[in-house]
Amino acid sequence: MKHQIIINENFLSKKECNHLLKFSIDNPKLYETQCRETDLFWDKRTIPCFGSHLPIDLQALSWKYLKKVETEIEKVSEYSSVFCDNLNFVKWWSGYEQPPHADGETTDGSNHPFPWRKFGCVYYLNDDYDGGEIWFPNFDISVKPKPNTMIFFPGDTLHLHGVREVTHGTRHTIASFWGYDETRKLPVYDTRE
């Protein structure tokens, strides 16, 4: 089996990565007030990358990041256009982990809550934490990326992935999900394009 896990280091400038990390670290209250997750696992751990709660420069940087990821995914996708349906800062505190899962399919063939998601993507803002590796059990791959690394992969069950337990410190990332269904795209597309 050949995987389609793409690892892209030095994805943005070091300054841009540090700016995103500083925002994530310096705004703990936004994780409490802006988190829109209904699942308790994610509660108070995410911040949308677009909206009035973010300074204009960070929204512009988030848009630049989104468009750059879009270009990279389109290089390997079967369609000429992909759309992001979710782009969030995500904090992983000590003790958090996630078992292997797929972003758009289930292993038992039952309905997935997000079947339109064809790719998952994680951008790493820091590495000063222990544990927290992303791992792909079907390929026996475990990676703890350096800051400013973007990883994306298909949302199918072949690319099951999980997050090993963070044992010390806080893992800061930006997570996004991508598909071909334009009706699922983030509203920001209509205001930025």
Question: What's this model's pTM, rounded to 2 decimal places?
Answer: 0.96
- Average pLDDT of the residues in 146-157: 98
**pLDDT range class, residue 38, cuts 50, 70, 90:** confident
pLDDT value, residue 46: 97
Q: What are phi and psi of 180, to 5 degrees?
A: -100, -10
Is 156's pLDDT higher than 90?
yes
- Count Cβ atoms below 10 Å from residue 25 Cβ, excluding itself: 13
pLDDT value, residue 84: 98
Average confidence score pLDDT of the chain: 96
Q: Which residues contact 9 (CB under 8 A, 6 or more apart)?
A: 145, 146, 148, 149
Is 48's pLDDT higher than 80?
yes
pLDDT value, residue 79: 85
pLDDT value, residue 65: 98
Percent of the chain with pLDDT strictly greater than 90 = 93
Percent of the chain with pLDDT strictly greater than 70 = 99
- Average pLDDT of the residues in 50-78: 96
**pLDDT range class, residue 37, cuts 50, 70, 90:** confident
Is 76's pLDDT higher than 80?
yes
Domains of the chain: residue spans and CATH: 6-181 (2.60.120.620)
Is 67's pLDDT higher than 90?
yes
Is 1's pLDDT higher than 80?
no
Is 59's pLDDT higher than 80?
yes
Is 193's pLDDT higher than 80?
no
